[in-house]
Amino acid sequence: MPRSLEDNFSKTLVRTGALQFGMFTLSGGRISPYYLDLRVIPSFPDAFRTCSDLLAMNAKSIEGIDKIGGIPTGGLPWAAVLAYALSKPLVYTRKDIKLHGRERTVEGILTPGDRVLLIDDVITTGKNILTALQSIRGEGGVVENALVLLDRQEGGEQHLMKEGVKLHSVAKIATVAQKLLDMDAITKKQFEELAGLSETAE
C-alpha cells in the first residue's frame, strides 16, 4: 500500500476513536493495553469510504474469488460494501444455527465449489475467521483467502495458514504504530504497547 494511504488509514484509527488505550479484556479473555473498535468507522462517512476503498484495492489483487463472505458482526458492513464495489455475490455466516427455516449457518446462496473470500474487520488469533471457515466449508464452499482491515499480529495469520488460508490485510499493527509515532499521534509508551504485543506474538 502506498505510504500516503498507510498514513491516511493510521490517522483514521485515531480520528474516529477506533484505537483506544487502557486495559481491555479481549474476547479470548486476555488483557490488552489497547483496543481496536473498527465498528465505529462506518459512523464517519469519509472514513468509511476511505477504508472501503482500501479494502477493495487489496481485494482486487486476490485471484479466484466467486463470492464475498461476511463474518458477524464486525465484518458484515465491510463485506457488503466490498461485494457491491466488486460486483460479487454476498454471503455471510451466522454465529448460531437458525432453529427455523433451512437451519443453516450460512445466509445467501452458496453453491458447492464457490470460492469465498472471507472478510472481517480485525484479526487477533483468527478464531472468528476459523469459525466462519468451518461454516462455509461445511456447506461445500472453498476458502483459500481471508481479508481484514487490520492484523493485530498475534498469531492469527499462522493459525489460518495451518488451515490452508492466506491472510491479506490492509495494514498490520506494527506498521500502524510506527506511522502514528512518526506523526506524533501517539506517545513512545503507546507505541511500545502497540508494537510490543505483536513482537511477543511472533
Structural domain boundaries in the chain = 3-201
Q: Which fold has domain 3-201?
A: Rossmann fold (3.40.50)
For the residues 12-36, what does the mean pLDDT come to?
88
pLDDT of residue 98: 53
For the residues 151-158, what does the mean pLDDT come to?
94
Residue 165 vs residues 74, 87, 145: alpha-carbon distances, Å: 20, 23, 5
Q: Tell me the residue type at 178.
A: Q
Is the pLDDT score of 61 beyond 50? yes
pLDDT of residue 103: 66
Is the pLDDT score of 198 beyond 70? no
Is the pLDDT score of 202 beyond 80? no
Crossing angle of the two packed helices 45-59 and 76-86, in degrees rounded to 10: 60
What is the pTM (predicted TM-score) of this model? 0.91
Query: 120: which 3 cell numbers?
Result: 472481517
- Cα 201 to the center of its chain, rounded Å: 18
For 92-101, the pLDDT digits (tens) are 998 765 545 5
Q: Which residue is it, cell 471457515?
A: 133
For the residues 2-29, what does the mean pLDDT come to?
85
Per the CB < 8 A criterion, the answer to whether 154 and 124 are in contact is: yes
Q: What is the mean pLDDT of the chain?
A: 90
Dihedral pair phi/psi, residue 106, rounded to 5°: -125, 125
pLDDT of residue 102: 61
pLDDT of residue 76: 97
pLDDT interval class at 175 (50, 70, 90): very high
Dihedral pair phi/psi, residue 68, rounded to 5°: -100, 130
pLDDT of residue 201: 40
For the residues 61-88, what does the mean pLDDT come to?
97
